[in-house]
Structure 1
Amino acid sequence: MSSMLTLILPAAAVLALALIITNPSAKAVAQFAWNCFLKPIGHVGSDQKSALESFYKGQAKIYDTTRKKLLKGRHTMLSLSVSHLKKSKDIVWIDFGGGTGWNIEKMNEVVPITSFKEIHLVDLSPSLCEVAQNRFAARGWSNVHVHCIDATTFQLPNKETRADLITLSYSLSMIPSYYSMIDRICQLVHSDSIFAVVDFYVQSNATLNGKATSVGGVLLRHVNWLSRTFWRLWFEFDRVYLDSSRRDYLEYRFGTIKSLNMRNKSLGGIPYYIWIGCDKDRSQDFMYRLNALATESPYLAPSNASSDALANQEQIQIRSKGYEATVINMEHNLPYPSFYYQSEVWRIYYDAENPHYHQFNNQYIYAFTWEDPREDINLLNLGPSDVVLAITSAGDNILTYAAMENPPKRIHGVDLNPHQNHLMELKLASLRCLPFEDVWKIFGDGKHEDFMKILVTKLSPHLSSHALQFWIKNGKKYLDPKTKGLYDSGSTRWAIRIARWLFFALGLESDVKRLLKTQTIKEQLKVWNESIRPALFNPIFCKLILGNPVFLWKALGVPVNQANMIEGGILQYIVDTIDPLISRSLISDDNYFYHLCLTGSYSPKNCPDYITKKGYFNLAKRKGALDTIRLHTDTINDVSDRLAPGTLTVAIIMDHMDWFEPTGTLAVEEIQALNKSLAKGGRVMLRSSSKTPWYIKTFESQGFSCKSAATRFSGTSIDRVNMYASTWICTKLYNTAEKERSGSIKPLEL
């Protein structure tokens, strides 16, 4: 005991001091410190009710005052739980371990207490229950009932009634018989009920055994050894148990809708989690999700299916990674993936612990998309009979295709970086449930004063657990009005930052403002040629900055392999990129790519189609418009292997093949995968920094006919970005698999 006191008491003094500094009532803090750090030592051996009452009796009246800094996430948990409810009135709510009734009072700020049919607060401490009763009586809430009993014995007054919502706020960690408590809850809910928990926890990756990947709570779940040891000892001192088995059993008995791992940074980084769950089988909803994952696209097939089986689609069952993961989990008696409990079908299951994803350091690269979708649509003549596979990137182009008057019938977004798809999910969720004004603030201005509130109360039901965790962690940092905004995030933020620095260093800020106000190409050319161009393309400046490999990668996203493909030198390449743009389109109102780089935001007349009023209407109001999109967190090869052969009509792969090593096998493997999934006559559209990319010959050797759709020469532009030297369309003539089997070539007559 003496060694424990040596560890605990100094830390207790530090915490008490922190609370005194941040809390106006020193007396309340003194009471808190006495009851929490000293008095409980003599009551370790008493029964649970006596121990709780001894602990809380002396601090019941000041409990809420002293817990504001300690018990984080309660309001977020309440808001999340309500946002996921299917009912909006006549709700039956049970708050287990509700103590003083703080949760219920705060819930009135989220949704009126009058919208609840019944509210039941259950707690074992008479002193806390007395505070709750006085609180509710003062507010005249006749539909709120306080029960001072053991939670494991609680029964609703009407045995036929089932709870719509059950919450546990920092109470599961204090219930000794938590297994029977969770089992009891299973008897009190129906298929559409929501179960919400916020509590302390500690857990290491070693104890997850792949389960957290399934339930969607990976990010920040691991707690290091020192923190695990310290916080476990600290809280056990007051009979609060942080063992991971409580959360594990919770996730085992219920389906996980959302799982968030958080840190209370104001008090030493105490780990806590917010969890939203439901009936594990969800009755008809679960079977719908099972079928949706099994056939998440009418074009998905097993990756290991034989060629003969694939030739006859009616003889095979379509299976996805999500379906396979669930079968494995069921065989091992593990929880089902959280993807089963999404309300939307966009995001396809992926294993977040796959090492391939770790290279991205929990951030996306592209906050906006560089490629010009107007040219994609024109060159490919996209229409309602098309099935498109495209690299997700920031999602702007995919949403442009979906916003067409006659859009493709299915669009597969593919990106190995999970965070690019988190960004795309945010866009889809916003279009699903927000008015145009909010969508514009988030993605047009790149800032929203109420983003975190909107995220929790409106967007969260339409996001996967993984995406919600990402935006809970990063939303304030990226979208708060006090920050530089959404487009100052991701690696492409360097394009905006360096552009601003360049113009500041060259004294061109006022000239850039004039450029952005020009109304004609003639005016634009005048400002460019007289002021900006001479300074920007100064030979010394070009050599030091524009030709620097660090600038190329950080500002323009040009890796070494791609830079090596540039013909004529990088300085000439940059001149050939920017110069012709000035006479092609106005930066002020018809070139949102460069407008964004110069200003850090879009303008209503100069923005991607999905945030124009017309594009918003087509996506948000047109029935089923958003449901045509699927987001795959994977490689093009893997997605192509799971698409039923011959079902894609278009693949838009941007410039990413420029990144491949010419002597490697990645290009031929990807081209073979595309050949398999494309229909005869299907097209691959790509862009390159070279006029004649080395991998075009590989396409031709693998059953494609390749033609340059646009080639950039000095003084000319091929689109509004003009970042690439060429655009190619490669048309599939025959199946390479057929060639390998028969040894003959059967070209398609186009």
Structure 2
Amino acid sequence: MSSVQVASDAIVTGFNDLLHKIVDEKIPNLFQLNETTYPVLISFAVTTLAFIVLYSNEYTKSFMVFAYACFVKPFASRSVDHANHQNNLEGFYKTQAKFYDTTREVLLQGRDDALKLAFSHTKAQQADPKKKLVWVDIGGGTGLNIEKMDTRVANLAENFDAVYLVDLSTSLCEIAQERVAKYGWTNVTVICGDACDFELPHKEVDLITFSYSLSMIPLYHSAIDHAEELLNPDTGILAVVDFGIQTKSTSIGKINTVGGLEQRHIPWIYRTFWRLWFEFDKVYLDPSRREYLEYKFGTVKSVNRYNKTLGSIPYYIWLGVNKSQDAQLMYRFNQLATESPYLAPAEAPSSNNNSSSSNPISKALEAAVSNTRKNLPYPSLFYQVQTWRVYYDELCAIYDVFHKQYIYAFTWEDPLEDAKILNLTSKDTVLAITSAGDNLLSYACLPDPPRRIHGVDLNPSQGHLVELKLASITALSYDQMWSMFGEGKIDNFEELLTTKLAPHLSSNALQYWLINGKKTFDPNGKGLYDTGFSRWALRLARYVFFITGLSSKVEKLCEAKTIEEQKQIWDTYIRPVLYSTLVGKIFVGNPIFLWKALGVPANQAKMMGDSVLQYVIDTLDPVVGKSLISSNNYFYYLCLKGKYSKDNCPDYLTPEGFQQLKSGTATGGESPLNGLRLHTDFLNNVFDRLSSKTITVAVIMDHMDWFDPHGEDALNEIKSLHGALSGGGRVLLRTAALKPWYIEDFEKLGFKCEAAGVRYSGEMIDRVNMYASTWVCTKLPTKMERKMSRIQI
């Protein structure tokens, strides 16, 4: 035992002896203690001693002072100087200024994320990435935000020309000055002044932040107006993190401006309790502050969260830009709001004539015009750095059926076969079902990729997934991209999301991945490819293999070097179990399993023939017999392994494909991703809003199998397709039937239909081999078009 320990024990023993002597001998003689008062006095003594010990420690003392200032003083003192807000601030902060940073770290959550988002978006706005920024932190207090920026986000000397901290509390400004001296920041200036009228030597600044200060500014309208005057109208970012109690009802009439509704609605009990609680400390959680921000600025990002450490206190992170003069706004407006903005050919001229029936108005333009009439900002999607995501109304009730979850984490259709059949070139404008986006990216990886690639999917979450892939290609290294989408796991997802990916995501997609991303890509979890509704099919397959003792054989199947070795493992061990009567009845022949796990609706199941099990046999046996899963069939490799391998993966995950998409090597320097657009809508709605004859290829997968043969849905969609396709335009579709019933409808409406591949028993038409046939329907010229062609000749 050390001498220090011995001395410490001796002190404690002596103190205990003295205490007992006082309690047993002295105090009873003075106060004539009895059995009732004796425990009370002991409790008082212990409490007093505990207070002395705690108060003597700087760390615990800071929390005691904080608790007194916040929870006791507001009730003990009724003096409020209504004429001088600075005096009120000083009365609150003077006694706790030295301890402010220690006590607020747990209370004021989200500041790190807010700074990361603010910096990454401000840099993304700049035309010159090397430009040094001017930053103003309004209500910056002790300067901790500046320290966080310097040590955790971006070095001040390297990234900022000037930094200004503005605060009205002299006590907090003194601590900030000490911090500036401590770190030797030569570009930081502390201004003890009012947020509503402080002056700067710079006429325009690049970044303004309010970090838990807006809720403490009585004249918040004036403070926000002053910030607007200072902010660079072309490239400036305003960032706010603060407590907030929004509800859906307060967003009525401006839903499309707020950047998404995820967790925005705060339940009544939280709104009421926290609002009353904070008002005792002159902190106001009323929703009007945030609403004024969303009125004055265009919303770039909006994040809604709870501080679960302290009773689920609601807070938000919000980023905005000038709502009408942003540098890229006109470019984005032309991209988003002119007639047929996404589907028109690359060289199509803009037109202000939106009354023509051949040039229907886009939903984005309708929303923009409506907002302009109300003097509201444009929809949030107009203010994003990237224009990948097409405007959609997130309140559409049909989206609710997806339960805010994507169905497919990967795409089943074989893009290699698409390329062979369609022979796509840069003259093509392609529209395809989005799904997980793998095929869209494969088209972009072609040697001469299409000039425009458009994905359409009714499920918003499928769009969020593809946005994440596009952002990752744009902002991450190949190794990081591979970890996320090759392995399906990465250990620093949230850091990458806030510092690198967020500027390239829409606000809706950022909200989705902040909620779901950490669990999805958890390195200790099952990974990306165990998510989505399709995960149930993969889990059930693994479960069947496990309970039948075939897991090791499946591993060997995925490692087989030859077709012969692969087929021997399949025929001997796996096939007899997978095609057994029990498995067939419970899984393959079960309509609930087909729909919930495999995404096969009843109408499509009927097209598979008399035996669904035989359909599955005709699908899998040829694959095993003719396609090597370990190296040339990433679809089934992923299903069995839960991840890709670097020599067996989609094109966008190969080093060559990744580099082409990132740098645009195939297009002379411009990335093919620039021409990619994601629609969240019905196919018919997209087709009907297009200028006629703008699409050369439509890849609609198998979704027409879902239609009722006795209904009008298929016929209506074919009519819309006919109007959107250019002369000679082609439709590529896959189907569970050898010849689907709707082919006759195509032919009646002026298409020439040919089977590009028919899967007879024992044959394989592509690496997936899931469909019975693949068809190409080519739009024939009308009589008028043939007549005009002869006249031209």
Q: What is the TM-score of this pair, normalised by structure 2? A: 0.86
Q: Which moved more, 1:709-718 or 1:245-254?
A: 709-718
Residues 1:217 and 2:217 are matched in the alignment: no
Residues 1:133 and 2:174 are matched in the alignment: no
Aligned equivalents of 1:435, 1:554: Cα separation in 2:
36
The C-alpha deviation readout for 1:196-231, integer Å capped at 9, x for no partner, is 100111111112123132231322211122222122
Residues 1:496 and 2:538 are matched in the alignment: yes
CA offset at residue 675 of structure 1? 0.7
Contact kept, 8 Å, 1:199 with 1:273, in 2: the verdict is yes
CA offset at residue 527 of structure 1? 0.8
Please list, as runs of the form range in 1=range in 2, the aligned pairs for 1:300-379 lying within 5 A after superposition: 309=356, 319-379=361-421
Q: Which moved more, 1:446-455 or 1:603-612?
A: 446-455
CA offset at residue 89 of structure 1? 4.6
Match of 2:95 in 1: 58
Match of 1:198 in 2: 241
Aligned equivalents of 2:119, 2:582: Cα separation in 1:
61
Match of 1:586 in 2: 628
User: Amino acid of the residue matched to residue 46 of structure 1?
Assistant: D
Contact kept, 8 Å, 2:601 with 2:706, in 1: the verdict is yes
CA offset at residue 627 of structure 1? 0.8
Contact kept, 8 Å, 1:675 with 1:735, in 2: the verdict is no
User: Amino acid of the residue matched to residue 258 of structure 2?
Assistant: V
Aligned equivalents of 1:24, 1:584: Cα separation in 2:
73
Match of 2:69 in 1: 35
Aligned equivalents of 1:600, 1:298: Cα separation in 2:
35
Aligned equivalents of 2:751, 2:293: Cα separation in 1:
53
SS of equivalent to 2:431:
strand
Aligned residues: 712
CA offset at residue 500 of structure 1? 1.4
Residues 1:271 and 2:314 are matched in the alignment: yes
SS of equivalent to 2:597:
helix
Please list, as runs of the form range in 1=range in 2, the aligned pairs for 1:105-504 lying within 5 A after superposition: 105-108=147-150, 109-115=152-158, 116-156=160-200, 158=201, 160-191=202-233, 192-295=235-338, 296-297=341-342, 299=344, 309=356, 319-504=361-546
Residues 1:689 and 2:736 are matched in the alignment: yes
SS of equivalent to 1:411:
strand
Aligned equivalents of 1:306, 1:705: Cα separation in 2:
34
CA offset at residue 46 of structure 1? 2.8
Aligned equivalents of 2:401, 2:58: Cα separation in 1:
46
Aligned equivalents of 2:163, 2:130: Cα separation in 1:
14
Contact kept, 8 Å, 2:354 with 2:361, in 1: the verdict is no
CA offset at residue 95 of structure 1? 0.6
Match of 1:560 in 2: 602
Q: Which moved more, 1:533-542 or 1:579-588?
A: 533-542
Q: Alignment partner for residue 586 of structure 2, among 524, 534, 544?
A: 544
The C-alpha deviation readout for 1:140-198, integer Å capped at 9, x for no partner, is 11322222222112111x2x532211100011111000001011112212222111100
Residues 459 and 307 (structure 1 numbering): CA distance in 2 closer, same or farther, change over 3 Å?
closer
The C-alpha deviation readout for 1:96-148, integer Å capped at 9, x for no partner, is 11111110000012111213222111112222222222222111113222222
Contact kept, 8 Å, 2:733 with 2:774, in 1: the verdict is yes
Aligned equivalents of 2:629, 2:58: Cα separation in 1:
54
Aligned equivalents of 2:599, 2:87: Cα separation in 1:
64
Aligned equivalents of 1:69, 1:572: Cα separation in 2:
60
The C-alpha deviation readout for 1:611-648, integer Å capped at 9, x for no partner, is 11121122111123111111111111111112211121
The C-alpha deviation readout for 1:561-585, integer Å capped at 9, x for no partner, is 2212220311111111111110121
The C-alpha deviation readout for 1:55-107, integer Å capped at 9, x for no partner, is 22222222222222221111111111111122555322111111111100000
SS of equivalent to 2:81:
coil
Residues 414 and 53 (structure 1 numbering): CA distance in 2 closer, same or farther, change over 3 Å?
same
CA offset at residue 440 of structure 1? 0.9
SS of equivalent to 2:236:
strand
SS of equivalent to 1:675:
helix
User: Amino acid of the residue matched to residue 29 of structure 1?
Assistant: F
Aligned equivalents of 1:213, 1:268: Cα separation in 2:
30
Aligned equivalents of 1:32, 1:569: Cα separation in 2:
72
SS of equivalent to 2:609:
coil
CA offset at residue 308 of structure 1? 11
Contact kept, 8 Å, 1:495 with 1:597, in 2: the verdict is no
Aligned equivalents of 1:359, 1:237: Cα separation in 2:
43
Aligned equivalents of 1:392, 1:144: Cα separation in 2:
48
Contact kept, 8 Å, 2:342 with 2:454, in 1: the verdict is no
The C-alpha deviation readout for 1:353-400, integer Å capped at 9, x for no partner, is 222222222111111001111111111222222111100000000100
User: Amino acid of the residue matched to residue 444 of structure 2?
Assistant: A
Match of 1:625 in 2: 672
Match of 1:71 in 2: 108
Residues 495 and 24 (structure 1 numbering): CA distance in 2 closer, same or farther, change over 3 Å?
farther
Aligned equivalents of 1:128, 1:135: Cα separation in 2:
11
SS of equivalent to 1:607:
coil
The C-alpha deviation readout for 1:477-532, integer Å capped at 9, x for no partner, is 11121221111111112232122111111110110111111111011011111111
Match of 1:505 in 2: 547
Residues 309 and 188 (structure 1 numbering): CA distance in 2 closer, same or farther, change over 3 Å?
closer
CA offset at residue 44 of structure 1? 6.4
Q: Alignment partner for residue 80 of structure 1, among 117, 141, 166?
A: 117
Q: Alignment partner for residue 750 of structure 2, among 667, 681, 703?
A: 703
CA offset at residue 293 of structure 1? 2.0
Residues 668 and 306 (structure 1 numbering): CA distance in 2 closer, same or farther, change over 3 Å?
farther
Q: Which moved more, 1:695-704 or 1:434-443?
A: 695-704
Q: Which moved more, 1:141-150 or 1:570-579?
A: 141-150
Residues 1:724 and 2:767 are matched in the alignment: no
Q: Alignment partner for residue 668 of structure 1, among 715, 721, 742?
A: 715
SS of equivalent to 1:219:
coil
Aligned equivalents of 2:459, 2:631: Cα separation in 1:
32
Contact kept, 8 Å, 2:337 with 2:368, in 1: the verdict is no
SS of equivalent to 2:404:
coil
Contact kept, 8 Å, 1:382 with 1:408, in 2: the verdict is yes
Aligned equivalents of 1:310, 1:329: Cα separation in 2:
23
CA offset at residue 548 of structure 1? 2.1
Contact kept, 8 Å, 2:343 with 2:452, in 1: the verdict is no
**Structure with greater Cα Rg:** 2
Q: Which moved more, 1:42-51 or 1:114-123?
A: 42-51
Aligned equivalents of 2:95, 2:215: Cα separation in 1:
21
Q: Report sequence identity in percent.
A: 54
Q: Which runs of 5+ in 1 are unaligned?
A: 1-19
Residues 203 and 283 (structure 1 numbering): CA distance in 2 closer, same or farther, change over 3 Å?
closer
Contact kept, 8 Å, 2:371 with 2:377, in 1: the verdict is yes
Contact kept, 8 Å, 1:676 with 1:735, in 2: the verdict is no
Residues 350 and 24 (structure 1 numbering): CA distance in 2 closer, same or farther, change over 3 Å?
farther
Match of 2:6 in 1: none
Residues 24 and 59 (structure 1 numbering): CA distance in 2 closer, same or farther, change over 3 Å?
closer
CA offset at residue 587 of structure 1? 0.8
The C-alpha deviation readout for 1:403-442, integer Å capped at 9, x for no partner, is 1001111111111111111111111111122221111111
Residues 667 and 360 (structure 1 numbering): CA distance in 2 closer, same or farther, change over 3 Å?
same
Aligned equivalents of 1:66, 1:89: Cα separation in 2:
36
SS of equivalent to 2:643:
coil
Aligned equivalents of 1:140, 1:284: Cα separation in 2:
35
Residues 117 and 251 (structure 1 numbering): CA distance in 2 closer, same or farther, change over 3 Å?
same
SS of equivalent to 1:120:
strand
Contact kept, 8 Å, 1:214 with 1:351, in 2: the verdict is no
CA offset at residue 294 of structure 1? 3.2
Contact kept, 8 Å, 1:703 with 1:732, in 2: the verdict is yes
Aligned equivalents of 1:292, 1:532: Cα separation in 2:
52
Root-mean-square deviation (CA, aligned residues, Å) is: 2.5
